[in-house]
Structure 1
């Protein structure tokens, strides 16, 4: 069995084109959302698969959530899983010997976040050594401080939150490091004034527009090196996805904000209490969804606002009455609230299991999005590598772009 390798050079375009064909061909399977549709269009074409998924329990769905490709489901599930697995396969970027960090640096950093920082830093395998690190959307600057080595290197941290800028500056001074923490909205028109051709810019899990803005400005101002682990592709001010590369612009794939959220549906960190609250909230929403369809006499999903956790402590009948009032609906009939609540839980089990088919396309879609970014940087004159920087249990957002001016 061959060990997968990172993608670079012509491999970036060839993999993008293969993913594009796969995603376009199977849009009818991954676009419809089981949470908002009582019956999915593809169920008519694949009744055996639909029936098999609908009969499974909520616990069975939860067990398969992170590895849907391993599910022994009826056709065409195994064939799609095999294709998705092959197209989403990508190797680890080369590592470097990272000097040991002072134990003081990880004080005030959550353990999982520090592990991500260590993994990210250990894969910054640039041809030329960095001179001036620029930590984009830096928070308190933990990543930048971990990267700073010796007196010859400089560090600039850009952050939007004044409290984080102040806290970061104090931490850098406390550790005796030469770092400049600047208050900057990176989406503002003047953000590019901080970038030049001496910079190695890094962004660990900068969301949506934030990391796209970095790529655009870094290219424009000639930054010598970039390292980006993208995140939250749906955090964008545009109403739908705006392609970056020539290849993505030529694609027939048009992605909505809901589509862009699909790669983010994989979770690995939620504790038992959080999962219970999540399930209770979703079951209640799905129960209310069945009710609102009756009240409105229409088989359409009705979006509802985010609700405080305290709403979960209300009796289900009160929950529905108050939510109906928020949406301007009148409950003018006697209802079997226990039966409706049970129906919400049953529907949650069906939704979670039906989502397993959609979840096969999480990694292919994410890789399509990150390859669009890689191809864009390649078009701007960068030598680009794309690979993973850590295992999936540490963070599902483990794809990393390394770009260096040729």
Structure 2
């Protein structure tokens, strides 16, 4: 997206999200009846009558669903507002296969795709890469393989040491430093000579990079954000003046919406996830009866071993954990079946909410881009890889004016 397009698109997304927040804010998992269902009964009935398998098939591309209105109209608006082009691609210098040893295949593909989009136009090429929240430094080594300097900042000392050994083994000129990037002294690690890069640094971590790198007048930076809800505050704090002026106030639940798209989970993980959610939904029916209150009751994350318990024991133990009255005799097979039925309805009702998944993510990305514009950077945003490789495929490229 061209720098001059950032603000108009932000305003259009802002208006779209504000106008339809009654559709995307309420979570079907926590509401037995959603507020919008009385407004759009035909759509509600159509979605509720679909199977779990049908919901799963439409999960990644709900905009293609042939559902009753207003679904198609909203899908078209979502598609138009979310339209964003891939960033220019540059051929990468070939590296030894040894470089990708110890890197999971999908992660290496993401690194290659990220590296191929780092084209800067108006200043000298980067000479000192800084890999932010680097882990073992795989991204930094890919960028610095032809002799540039590399600094890797990482919080986990075991990853720092493992990265140092890999860099030494591969002959990469790298400095691996143990650093809490949220600590005050992190600012001393950046200078104007550094080109910071971050591939899927979470929430506050990538925001911190933008703040410190722009303070240090770094000439370039490249950031692919992730996990917008991983923040210390209990609501989103916009970065740009335009974000701060918006009437859109985002909770942690709202910030999790863009992360609900998944493409990497295997069949076993999906089965485990579905069983866990169906059981929670079955328990939700039970806890409303036990409390005499028709409201959702949050429950803690449970060890996967809980899924091996008989459903009756699962509910009885969870009721005790939440200090509820003992369930007593229940029709446990019927209750468990009701949980699976609710899961199918929840997943299908979520398809409407998911139309706002990408617009909200792009709103958040644009808030970051506009913040960097305010700090005297020319900013491009675009796609760096196919969504099948990672749904978090938006990249911010910033170059100091």
- Structure 2 unaligned blocks of 5 or more: none
**Residue 261 (structure 2) aligns with:** 266
The alignment status of 1:392 with 2:395, answered yes or no, reads no
Q: Which runs of 5+ in 1 are unaligned?
A: 1-6
Are the structure 2 counterparts of residues 293 and 268 from structure 1 closer, same or farther at C-alpha, using a change threshold of 3 Å? same
Tell me which of 242, 246, 259 is aligned to 1:247: 242
Q: Of the candidates 123, 132, 135, which is equivalent to residue 136 of structure 1?
A: 132
SS at match of 2:184: coil
Taking the aligned partners of 2:327 and 2:267, their CA distance within structure 1 comes to: 38
1:147 equivalent in structure 2: 143
Partner of 2:154 in structure 1?
159
Give the distance between the partners of 1:192 and 1:97, measured in 2 at CA: 33
CA contact under 8 A between 2:52 and 2:343: conserved in structure 1?
Answer: yes
Aligned to 1:85: 79
Deviation at 1:370, TM superposition (A): 0.3
State the partner residue of 1:343: 338
Residue in structure 2 matched with residue 30 of structure 1 by the alignment? 24
Once the 2 structures are TM-superposed, how far is the Cα of residue 131 of structure 1 from its aligned partner? Answer: 1.0
Query: What's the offset of the Cα at 1:331?
Result: 2.1
- 2:271 corresponds to 1:293: no
- The TM-score normalised by the length of structure 2 is 0.99
- Residues in 1 aligned to 2:338 and 2:37: alpha-carbon distance in whole angstroms: 20
Query: What corresponds to 2:355 in structure 1?
Result: 360
Q: Which residue of 1 aligns with 2:15?
A: 21
How big is the shift at 1:332? 4.8
- Assess if the C-alpha contact under 8 Å between 2:316 and 2:327 holds in 1: no
In 1, the alpha carbon distance for the partners of 2:126 and 2:32 equals 54
Pairing 1:179–2:174 present: yes
Counterpart in the other structure of 2:117 = 123
In structure 2, distance between residues paired with 1:8 and 1:139: 32
SS at structure 2 position matched to 1:204: strand
Deviates more, 1:46-55 or 1:324-333: 324-333
SS of 2:242 mapped into structure 1: helix
- Contact kept, 8 Å, 2:319 with 2:327, in 1: the verdict is no
Q: Say which SS state the counterpart of residue 225 (structure 2) adopts.
A: strand
Quote how far apart the aligned CAs of 1:149 are: 4.1
The RMSD of aligned alpha carbons is 0.7
> C-alpha separation between the residues in 1 aligned to 2:375 and 2:96?
37
Match of 1:194 among 189, 192, 215: 189
Counterpart Cα distance in 2 of 1:149 and 1:300 = 56
Equivalence for 1:4? none
Q: 1:3 — aligned with what?
A: none
Give the aligned partner of residue 106 of structure 1: 100
Indicate yes or no: 2:15 matched with 1:56.
no
Deviations 1:294-344 (A, max 9, x none): 000001100001011111110000000000000001125421001100000
Alpha-carbon offset, residue 274 of structure 1: 0.6
2:232 to 226, 233, 237: 237
